[in-house]
Amino acid sequence: MKLIISSVSGEPIYQQIEDQIRSAVLDGSLRAGESLPSLRSLAKDLRISVLTVTRAYNELAQEGILENIQGKGTFVLDRSNERMHERLVKQVRSDLDNAAQAARAAGIGGDDLHDLLDQAMAQLDS
């Protein structure tokens, strides 16, 4: 897993870490059961404080995306986890809201948008 941190983005570093890990989990780049780098290892690689990484990992654990196991490390939780499922549904809803706004701007009606969604789902199944 490669994280990119920007000190000039205006977004706190722990938030950048959270966002990138969350995105990797939600898009399947990080799979259930995969371990993340240790706190010290990631802090060293990114040249940041261990406390910053700890905060990011802890907040993701509170969201139900990661699990911290003392003495073993930090692992990605299964998507069937209730909080993870809620997060995925929220992400899908946000993406659909964006698609609906784009469709309206392009003059695409609800039926045509539904057809486009059906086509996209069919592509994933093939």
Domain count, the chain: 2
Domain-embedded: residue 51: yes
Residue 75 host element (H or E) = strand 73-76
d(CA 13, CA 71): 25
Residue 112 lies in a domain: yes
- CB distance 69 to 57 below 8 Å: no
pLDDT of residue 80: 64
- pLDDT of residue 83 exceeding 80, the answer is no
Indicate whether 25 belongs to any domain: yes
**pTM for the whole thing?**
0.68
Element housing 22 (H / E): helix 13-26
| Three-state SS at 77 | coil
DSSP assignments along 57-71, one per residue: HHHHHHTTSEEEETT
Local confidence band at 53 (pLDDT 50, 70, 90 cut-offs): very high
- Whole-number pLDDT of residue 26: 79
Write down the mean pLDDT value for the chain: 90
- Residue 54 shares a structural domain with residue 96: no
Q: Examine the pLDDT at 115 and tell me if it is beyond 70.
A: yes
- The CATH number of whichever domain residue 60 belongs to comes to 1.10.10.10
pLDDT band at 125 (very low <50, low <70, confident <90, very high): confident
Residue 41's domain comprises 13-76
Domain match, 65 and 89 both? no
